Each structure stands twice: as structure tokens, then as C-alpha cells.
Structure 1
Amino acid sequence: MTPQIPTPSLGSSPVPASRRTGEARRRGDELLSIGAVLAFLRDDFPEVTISKIRFLEAEGLVEPQRTPSGYRKFSAADVERLAYVLRMQRDHYLPLRVIREHLDAIERGEQPPALPGAESRPGPLEEADRELAAAAGVLPGGVRLGRAELIAAAEAQERELVEWESYGLVQPGPDGGYDGEALQIARLVAELGRFGLEPRHLRAMKAAAEREVALVEQVVAPLRRHRNPQTRAHAEATARELATLSVRLHAAMVQAGLRSRS
């Protein structure tokens, strides 16, 4: 069973103290189903979903027990972990890798790393670089996701994926699987959807991306046709660098445009 994690002094506790105490008194050491955990957390984290909980489990942030028939059963410590992860994402914008380091430190009885202040949070340019790197490294090389796995990892539904595909935002590979870039796009489209932006609103972004791809291809196509393997490798490195610069330029232009209207 996952060890109990004390809540550090990081603002509000993961679950309201009065509610947590009352529930503990009523349940004792009773284990919770994933549906009960969802209901338990939603007062403080309205956006949490069962898919989100499953995704955090898949990422190793929580390890619920399993019944002989395979159903998940969560302890009070598991709920504390989930609340901690959700709060660090919501309030401090920490990536899961850093949150895992926090949890590991707390389990060892150590002080977790200092939280970033508002001034040290990534700006649009740094965020753009991070998203591009994440898209390339979100899955190990050669690993493909099936349709159901993509939907779960993106915290989406089948009908949403169907709509994304109908607008060309997400596309499976020739083998029917999805790579890291497809997963990252799906996650970002899902996040934008929470702000009311529908796939039809994102067609302009897709069209702009296709124009940027065409520009990059103009530069690297002659290098890719070269017989020298080193030159072809240089073409791929150049393409990645141009993609990064393109994303940064786009982010800077959006930031400048918003600032001019404020």
C-alpha cells in the first residue's frame, strides 16, 4: 500500500480537513472505488475525471490496490497523493516529472524542492519550446498508442477523437497507431476545448502549421536528397531547429498581439 504522505505547507490541504476527518471516521480503513475517489476530489478539483485518475496511475503517480477481479481500490494515502498532484499542476504548473520528485522526497521524509514563484513560471516562448520537446519525447522511440490508449491518455472521449480526425487535427499512422506528436496534439486540443474552442475553430491553426511545414521543407529538401548521410542528418537537425524557431515566433507574435489589445 502507498505510504501515507503528510501534506506540506503549500496552502490549502488536498482535501478539506473537516471532510477528510469525517470521511475517515465513517469509513475507517475502507478502500475507495475510482468513482468514490472522483466524487471525493471533485469539490476541490472540478475538472478531474476518471480518465485523469487512470492517466496519473499509468504515469506511476499513484498505485491503487487491485481486487481479484481487477477493480481499483484506493486508500486514504492514494487520495492524498492524487490531491497533491492535482494541486501542484493547478496552482504551480509543475510537470509530472517534478511532482514525482516532490512525492519521492516527501516519502523519504525530506523537504520537497522549492516551488517556483510566479516570476519563474515559463513564459510563452519557454512554454512553446517545452511543448515542442514534449511532443518529441512523450513516448519512447517506436512506441505506438492504440485508439483506446490515446483517448485515455488525452482524457477524451471517442466522439471527440472522431471529430478531431474529421478536421485533420489528429491522424493515425499507416499501422492505425498514434505516435507522441499525435498524443501531444490530442492533449492540447482537449485543453483548448475546455475553454470552449472547438475543432472547427482550430482549422486556422492547422492551416498555419501546414504553411510553416512547407517553408521548412523548402530549406531542407535539397539537403535530404543529398547522397551524403551526414548531410541528410544535418537536414533533420535543421528541420528541428527551424520548427523550434517557428513555434517561438508564433508564440511571440500571439503574445505581442494580445499585449497590444490590453
Structure 2
Amino acid sequence: GFAISRAKYSWCSYKDVGFRAVTAAVSDVIAKGCKPLAYALSIGLTGHSISKLKEIINGVASAISIYGGYLINIDTNSGNDDWIDIFVLGNCEFTPIPRVVKPGNVLILPRRIGDTTIAYIAHYNNIYNVSQNVIEVSCRPLAEIRFIDIINKYRSCIVGSIDISDTLAETFYDLIDASGYGILLNASPYSIASYDLINFYYSNKDSYSDIKKLILMANEEYVPILIISSWCVDEMIKSLYSLGFEPVVLGYGITSKEITWMGEKIPKIYWNHISSKIIYK
């Protein structure tokens, strides 16, 4: 869940808030290879925002109609801040996939990312002229339900998975903290960054000198990083392409517990859930 007062971008509606909250919860379920089955919604609103309750619930219902499952409980609260939280019960055909990477495993990102970085920078710099792509990913992000079938189809070769729900950098650090091993990233940043982010980088080089840091700031992308055995890389890449994705091999697991990208240790860029801001540790 999140504080609506701090996480809602100015160009998004309260209906979008409900939609986004469901996607955030569903994304982790999908990354495990499970289908969302039932949802419980908790909302806290101030007196100034109580009129937005129906709008938020409509956004929740809109998202559930896409992901499937049933809304079984709505808990409403009043307080000094606006917030929303979603609990999702998943139905798993197989044992849920853990967060783990081991030496020699290959990390695959199914699609380009980074429009969320533009949204974050625009929001905190009071920039309102953003592209439709940026508006869509920041207001009504979609977790791909098709990944459930992909994960289950290749369950024998998928070692681990983790969704990008905070920053990409934090996702990598969460992964190595859970597994005890490290990651060597060797993919070109231009094969990872969204086309809008690449254009943003070239237009703002005076302010942002390293495109890798912009990519590591990508947040709430709600796409899983798949960690797979090396023997099925070609087949996985081919399958993702056939479904319209643009996958990239990010790198592979290593024995030393560190994360490097093209020879440089990546910074700890984290999402602070209290302030809803990205911080460097």
C-alpha cells in the first residue's frame, strides 16, 4: 500500500490510484507464477477526500476486471492522511517461485523500462508536459497476466523471479540479500531503457550525465526479472519475442555478493515509502 497524498502524481485521478494499488499487489503474485484469486481493500481518507471514495473503488474494480478474481472485503477508515492498501490471495498451480539468484543463472528483463523515471522526475520538478506513455505507466500501470503462463510453461528452468515494484537498483539488492550471491550486469543501457527515457537522457545531459542511473531509478514498473538456467535462455528469449515483448539478457549470477554494471558497482537507489521519494544510500 501507499500514502495517496504523497504517491499520487498530479496528472493522475483518484480512480487511477485504485487501479495502481491493485496492480502493485498483483504484480508480486504474478512474479511467483500465481493467479490473483481474491482481494481485500483497505482505504483511509481524510474528511477533505471522503468524496473520492467511490472513485477509488471504481478504479480497484476496473483493475480486478482485467486481472481476474473477486473483491471480498472493503475496509474504510478515517484519519489525518489518505492511504490505500490491497491484499491479494493467489492461486498457484506450482510451488511459488522464490526470490533467488545463483552463480551462473541468467537474468532476463522481458521489456524496456524507464518511463517511470521520467514520471518521477517530472512530478517532483513540477513538469506537466509529459508524454502519453509516461501518463499511462504512472497512473494506470499494467502487470502482464501473460507472464503466469510463461512462468508455468518454463517452470523447470526458472530458478527465481522478482518484480520491479520499488526501484530497479533496490530490486537487485533485494535479490542478492535473499540469495547471498551477487550479480554481474553486462547489458547495454540502451537495450534496457525505454525509447522515451533515451530521448529524455539526450535532451537533459547537462542535468543527468549517466543513463545507467536513470535506468536504476526506474520504479513501479511491475514487470518480473526472470532468473533462469543457462540452458534455456534461447528458448525463453524466443518465446518472449513471439508474444510481442522485447527481452534483454541483463547479466548473470556470481559468487561474490556484489552488483556491478560494466565494471562499476551500482549505487543503492531506494524508494522511501514514508516520503514517497527516491533516495541514495
Q: TM-score, normalised by structure 1?
A: 0.24
Structure holding more helix per residue: 1
